[in-house]
Every structure is written in C-alpha cells, then in structure tokens.
Structure 1
Amino acid sequence: MPGTPLPTDGVIGKLKPDQEAALKSFWKEFLNLVDESPEEGSGAHSAAMESAGDKPGKDIPKDDAAKEKLKAEQEMRDAKLAFAEYGSKRFMDAYWRFIAMDDPDGIMLRFLRARKWSPSAGVAMLAACIKWRMGSDVEKIFEKGEEGMQNADGFIRQMEFVDETQEIGKTYTQGTDYYGRPVTYIHVAKHRTYDQSAKALEDFVLFQMESIRCLFAPPVDKVVIVFDMTGFGIRNMGATHLHASLRHHNYTDPRRQTGAAFSPWVFQGIWKVLAPMLDPVVRNKIQMTKSTEDLCQHIPKAHLVKELGGSSEWRWKYPPIVPGENASQQDGAGRKKHQKAREALISEYVGLTREWITSDDENVAKRRELCVDRMRAQYHELDPFIRGRGAYHRNGNIVGNGLVVWNYPSPSEEKSEGEWEVRGYETCREECLLRAKQIGEELRATAAA
C-alpha cells in the first residue's frame, strides 16, 4: 500500500518490556512532579519567573544530543514555573481536559517517543505542553465553539469564501489517507492577510486542531495536510502565518505532528528557499507533489477532492451555525453531574496507576485497562457540556460517541452512490462499555477461582 504506514513500535498493545518500563518511569516522574508542587499557584507571572524561563542564547551547543538535553532542561524549568504560577490542581485539570477521550498511556507514549524514550525529557515536554495550552486558553476556545467565536474578527471567514462563482473554504478537513489519517486541505491562494486579525487566525488554528482531534480514530493520531499552492502569489504570503501556527502547535504536542503533502505546481523555487530554514524533523515530513498521481501515493483517488484531480464529487460547503447548538452548556446541573462522574474515574485511574507502577500483577493492569474504557465511554457523555459544536458536528462527521463518518460521492456519470467510511468502532462509547463489562467479568472469575 502506498504512503507512510502507521507506527507499530512503541504503541499501546505492542510495547516491549523496556518500553513498558520506560512508560512506568514516565508516570512515576510525572506524578512525583505533581505531588511535589503546590496545589494552588501564585496566580501571577512574575518578572523573576520570566527571567528564569528565558531560553539560553549564545550558549546553545552545536551538538544535537547536547541541544536536546538543553531543550529538555529548559522544558522542565518551564514546567516547574507553570506549577508555581498555576498550581497542581489547575495544571491537572488542564491535563485531563487535554486527555479527553484518549487513553492516557497513548498520550504519554507519544511524548516518550518524541524524546527518544527518555522519561525525564518526555515529562518535561508534556508539562511544557500543558503550560502552553493554559497560556493560550485552548480550553476556552474549544468550549465556545463556532457559535461562541463567530463574532471574532475573521474567525468564521477562514471556512467561508465567496468569489464570483462559488463558495469554497480556504481550509477544511475531508476524508482519510490510505491509513485512516484525516486529510486537511489548505488552499493557499484563497488566504489573504487582511481577511482576519492575527489573533483570530491563531484562535481559528487552535479550534481547528482541537476539532480535527475528534476526527481521529485510534490508533490514528496524526493528520495529513495538503497545501494546494495553485494560484499562489505575493498577496497570499500571509498564509505562512497559518503554516507557522500549525507547526507551533505540532511542536507543542507530538500528537499533532503531521505527515504533510504539498501540491505545489508553482512552488518549486520558493521551496528551495524555505526548506533550509525548517527544522529537519519538520522538513522530512513534507513531501512535494507535482501531480494528482503523486498525491494519490498518499490519498486514494476516490477520497481526494475533485479540485486536486480526485474522483470524489464531494465539495466543501460551510454548514451554518444552528442557534442554540451549545444549549447543553447552559445545563449547569447536567454538567456538574457528568464532571463529577469523570473526576471519580480519574481518581480511580490515578490510584491504579500508582499501584501499577510498582506492580507486575496482571490483575492490576486489567483493572487499570477497565478504568480506561469506562473513562473513554464517559467522556462522550461529558463532551457536549464542555466542547462547543463545530462544522464537523453539523456535517455529521463527528457522531458524538467516538465514531467518525466520511462520505465520498461518485462522479455523476457513474451508477454507484459512492463510498461511505465509518471509523472508530474499536474505541467508540458502546465498544468501550462492552469491553469494560467483559474485563470486569474476567476479574470476578479470577477472584472467585
């Protein structure tokens, strides 16, 4: 099969003994960091804290290994400053909002892999990520949803674009690559700097990345980004801000690291200038394509939008915001009920994790696995109370129980109705509850034996 396969090493269910040991060490260091921090923070970012968090300048080493060590040390300093400023309670609230419907081990493993299986460096990177999310108000942005953000200067305009003949989005996500990764299209020629403020663009990128996360069907944890450079000109240079924002988000959270495919018919010369400026890790993820055939090495032709030579008749049309679509957020009693249930599960999971760190008992691991399934199922009940709805909810891509649906209409001259793709069965709410029930029965049978 073409394209880049999903990773099979160092992922849940396929850990080697040394990798599981590293994961346990990661959890131990992370929980120790939390335990040793004040529950309540100072609530202010002091000049002393700012100075302590400054990145070194002239003393940056040339050796890559030394650079990585220095970066990890800086991330750990930043993390400790975050605990001093925000406190462990607020930090952990942000952490669990970040986990959302995922298996916490899956998140931890991504940071471990990103830091070459160094628990200390991985913990530092994770903590720095949570600090960044709190500072950027990520949770507030996705809680508002499109209804709450629609009056921000240029926010909705990123998804709407009206020219002389048609309405089309500057950026949208549609379909998957060969391995189930969602495909995000960015039509650079439709981006103009004056269409929105820099803040609206940044908020839009954050909201989109959080929305795209709901389109992942485990074990998928990355997105393919197609930059369509057709018609690219000087007036579109502001689109690089969008690219930079995406890259920044990727650096902060390895879950978002993207396998990016470019479609640059007139971009070859510019790329020769830009490529040396990019981080090698980022640069290696970018694959230049000159034709539909090249793109189809990554994305099935039946999934590729017609605008780029695909056979799917699907076209982006922004679904209007439905007044009151976030009504669940006004139900204070309902939110409190579901949040309390989640907090109870989190407390149980943390307790089991502390036990699992120092235990080889298979029953402890199973009880922890059962708790994960219950947490994942319960999150889908809580989600409408804390996450604003968006275009992918209204279009039916995000079902609400963990399933993701894509539609690929066939060309009009064909008799078939096209293709429907449903992903996420293994981790949807119903499957998680069924698996939890089965594990519970196994544990009871073991206890009775």
Structure 2
Amino acid sequence: MAGGTANPLPIDGVVGKLTPQQQSSLKDMWREFLQLIDSAPKEGSGGVSEVQVVDEKAPGNSIPKDDNAKERMKAEQETRDAKAAFAEYGSLRFLESYWRFIAMDDPDNIMLRFLRARKWSTSAGVAMLAACIKWRMGSDVEDIFRKGEEGMQGAEGFIKQMEIGKTYTQGTDHYGRPVIYIHVAKHRTFDQSAKALEDFVLFQMESVRCLFADAVDKVVMVFDMTGFGIRNIDWRCILFIVKCLEAYYPESLNVMLIHNAPWVFQGIWKLLGPMLDPVVRNKISMTKSTDDLVVHVPKKHLVKELGGENAWKWEYPPIVPGENAPQSDTEGRKKALAARDAIIAEYLEITRQWINSDDPLVEKKRQRVVNLMKAQYYELDPFIRGRGAYHRHGNIVGNGLVTFDYPTVAGERAEGEWECLGYSGCREQVLLNAEKLEKEIKELQGSASS
C-alpha cells in the first residue's frame, strides 16, 4: 500500500515511558535472564550446533505460510538455541558477547526490544535474546565489528559493495530516524561471495546502530527498485536481511519502503510476502512517487535521485591506513576493558536489587550507573570497534553525536542543511546526568538518615 502516515516516536513501551505492567514485565525478564546465567556452566563444551542454511534455489520451502505456525516454529527454535548457547559457550563467554551487543545502549532498551518482539512474554523474550547472542557468537559478528573496513578489505567483494554505493545511510526521517537507501539494481549475486555479502550486511547493521541518537532506535529503509530485473534477484540475501530484522535486530525497523517496483516484482512479492514475519510484513509499504516518500522523509533530506532536494551523493571515503591503531594499544585497551568490567559488575549488582525493589533510591542508583556505562563506552569504542565510512565522513563523531549534511542542488549552504543529533545522549551530557543523580542520591540518603 503506497503512501500512508509517518510513524511518530513511540510514547510507551520504551525506556522512560513504561506502564506499571510493562515495568513489571521488564523486571521479570531481567530476573529470568539472570537466573538463566546463574544456573549455566561458566565454561562451555566448545561444540558447535547445526546452523540453519537458507535454501536460495527454493526460497521459503522450510518456512510455514501460516503466521501462527511461523510463531510456533520460531519459539521452538529460539528455545533450543537458548539452551545450546550456554552448553556450547558457557556463561562467561555468553556475557562477554552480550555486553558487546549492548555497546553504547541502555541495557533496558535492548531487553525491551526483545520483550516487544515477543508480545511481552518474558520467557519468550529471554529465549529470543539468548538465541540472538548465540548467533552473534557463531556468526563472526564480533570479529567483523572489531576489524572494521580496514580489517575486512581483503574479503572478496566486501569493499566493492561500498564503492559502488549499493547501500548507504544518509540523513533522517521526520523524527530523526536514520534513512538507509538500498539501490537494488546495483546488486549482482556473483559480485561477491555469499559470506562477504552476509558480512557486509552485518557490518552495515552494526554501523547504523552508531547513527541512532536521542530516543531513536529504528530505521527507515528505502529499497530503490529503479532498474530492477531478474539478474538482481538474490533470495539468500533477501531472506538473510529479513532474518536479521526479525530475530537479530528486532524492533529496529520503522518502515520499509519498496520504491518504484516494476511489474516483475509483483510475482516475487507473491512468493516473498507469505514468508515474512507478520510484524515485518506490516511495516512494508509500496511507494511510486516522491510524494509517497516525503510522507516519511523530509524533501530537504531525501536524495535528489529519488526526487528530493538533497544533492548529497555517496562517495566512498578511502580507508586511512592505521585508522584502527588504538586496537594495538594493549595497555590502553586493557585499562578501558577493566573500567568497563567494573561498571558492568556494579550495574548487575544494582539490577539484582532493583528487580525486587520499588525503592526510588535504588532506581536512581541504577540510572546513575547506566549513564556512567554509556559515557565509558565511548572511551572503550576505539579499542574494540574498527572504523568505517561513517566515521570518515564525520557522521559518527565518537561521543554519541551524529551529523548529516544536506547540500542544495546549487551547491550552496543554507540554514537547515546541516544536522547534529544526539545531544541528550552524548558523553558530556550523560556524565552531567550521572553527576546530578549522584547529588539526588546523597539528598535521599541524607533524608533517610535524619
């Protein structure tokens, strides 16, 4: 269905906007999650379970067409994966991967993503999260995360996909969500290996997370189908992206706009539509005109080739030799990781108290640690995350701020053509938040003792 109405930012079900029942569900999820970790062996067996492979010749053969059957199949698989995660990797390795996944985020935000994705069922949410962490450990996500583009440039076709501008993130929608453009006609199945393609998709997913600012945690995806033909069909890639959106980065898609699809796509949609998770399927909209697109993306932000006023064009910024040099600073990395571990330990201790308490003092202590955790992550990041195009373009500032440039068609700069987001969550602000909370904690403690 074309057009529609742009979705505003959520007003409940997210951090800071929870109903009493949602708050209770969040605590229950933390309780189950920590119980699962406490009961698991610290070290795993090291065995590797079978990996589900997408059949690219007969897409969807293993996927039920009935939505209820799909839900049951996912729940069963996630429960099996959750159990296997601890048996294979142990709780120590699991937690290390979990905290890499959290990165600069509020841990509650990640928990709520999985809770919402599983309709507020805590057991299902925990199973889904554990299955996701297992997948991250078994799919080289953390290695791709660490290497960055400099470390991945030797992978067949990895950099080429960036150089041709197959996909990029540029600008925001009406509510500050990053807009991802995918020019489908530039994709050729055999331009890169299947592994390089999946690694490329994962690197983009991880990179875009750095472009979330303030209360934003979803993206707008524009699939530009202009010039699309049979040669561009890649079932394995399509189903992998869908799987990522459904299971590995849940609740991260605001809307997917299939733009300017030719008639041949109608037959493909008849096959693809029933295979999709109903939540993802309901977020897909077919668009034909610029007017359809500007419902979601301001015309000043929309790229010129799709009818917008933004003359910005993707140019791949070359890798700067040594841009990952901080990773070689053994002492600096060790110190930053030790600081991170100390904050995590403090967070877990106060979270265990918070689960069984309604004391506002405990709540404030936990909020303070979250702010310190966010601030410290920006110090740690250069030691554990490889740099990429969005760092070199200046979109990722490095302290939580995000910038986008919107040049005019004439090439002249004017007011409103440069955007800086993320002030409320940048390192400097969260440190001020932590300082303010520390004062409030002392005041509450003083009142209690008097």
Give yes or no for TM over 0.5.
Answer: yes
Give the counterpart of 1:221 among 217, 223, 244.
217
What is the CA RMSD across the aligned residues, in angstroms? Answer: 2.2
Equivalent position SS for 1:287: strand
Task: Tell me: CA distance 1:67–1:190, structure 2 relative to 1, closer, same or farther (3 Å).
Answer: closer
Give the counterpart of 1:395 among 393, 396, 401.
393
Deviations 1:174-204 (A, max 9, x none): 0011111111111111111221111110100
Alignment map for 1:426-445 (pairs within 5 Å): 426-445=424-443
* In 2: Cα distance, 1:237 partner to 1:70 partner: 26
The alpha carbon displacement at 1:276 in A equals: 3.6
The alpha carbon displacement at 1:265 in A equals: 4.4
Matched, 1:264 2:260: yes
* In 2: Cα distance, 1:40 partner to 1:280 partner: 37
Taking structure 2 as the reference length, the TM-score comes to: 0.91
* Identity in percent: 65
Match of 1:344 in 2: 342
Match of 2:95 in 1: 92
C-alpha contact 1:410 1:417 (8 A) present in aligned 2: no
Task: Tell me: CA distance 1:331–1:448, structure 2 relative to 1, closer, same or farther (3 Å).
Answer: same
Task: Tell me: CA distance 1:61–1:414, structure 2 relative to 1, closer, same or farther (3 Å).
Answer: closer
C-alpha contact 1:30 1:123 (8 A) present in aligned 2: yes
Matched, 1:326 2:324: yes
Give the counterpart of 2:28 among 25, 29, 48.
25
* In 2: Cα distance, 1:323 partner to 1:104 partner: 34
Match of 2:208 in 1: 212
The alpha carbon displacement at 1:245 in A equals: 2.2
Equivalent position SS for 2:404: strand
Taking structure 1 as the reference length, the TM-score comes to: 0.92
The alpha carbon displacement at 1:236 in A equals: 1.4
C-alpha contact 2:214 2:423 (8 A) present in aligned 1: no
Matched, 1:230 2:233: no
* In 2: Cα distance, 1:116 partner to 1:18 partner: 13
Equivalent AA in structure 2 for residue 102 of structure 1: D
Equivalent AA in structure 2 for residue 247 of structure 1: V
Alignment map for 1:229-248 (pairs within 5 Å): 229-238=225-234, 240-248=235-243
C-alpha contact 1:39 1:89 (8 A) present in aligned 2: yes
Q: Report the number of matched residues.
A: 432
Q: Which runs of 5+ in 2 are unaligned?
A: 52-60
* In 1: Cα distance, 2:107 partner to 2:268 partner: 38
Give the counterpart of 1:104 among 101, 104, 107.
107
C-alpha contact 2:113 2:250 (8 A) present in aligned 1: yes
Deviations 1:399-436 (A, max 9, x none): 00000001101121867365111111111100000000
Match of 1:166 in 2: none
Equivalent AA in structure 2 for residue 332 of structure 1: T
Give the counterpart of 2:38 among 29, 35, 50.
35
Equivalent position SS for 2:199: helix
Equivalent AA in structure 1 for residue 262 of structure 2: V
* In 2: Cα distance, 1:248 partner to 1:228 partner: 20
**More deviation, 265-274/418-427:** 265-274
Equivalent AA in structure 2 for residue 269 of structure 1: Q
Equivalent position SS for 2:223: strand
* In 1: Cα distance, 2:155 partner to 2:66 partner: 44
Matched, 1:171 2:167: yes
The alpha carbon displacement at 1:73 in A equals: 4.1
Equivalent AA in structure 1 for residue 437 of structure 2: I
Q: Which runs of 5+ in 1 are unaligned?
A: 52-57, 162-168
Match of 2:185 in 1: 189
Deviations 1:213-258 (A, max 9, x none): 10011321111111111111122123x4433222111122214335
Equivalent position SS for 2:418: strand
Equivalent AA in structure 1 for residue 91 of structure 2: S
Equivalent AA in structure 2 for residue 193 of structure 1: T
Give the counterpart of 2:81 among 63, 78, 85.
78
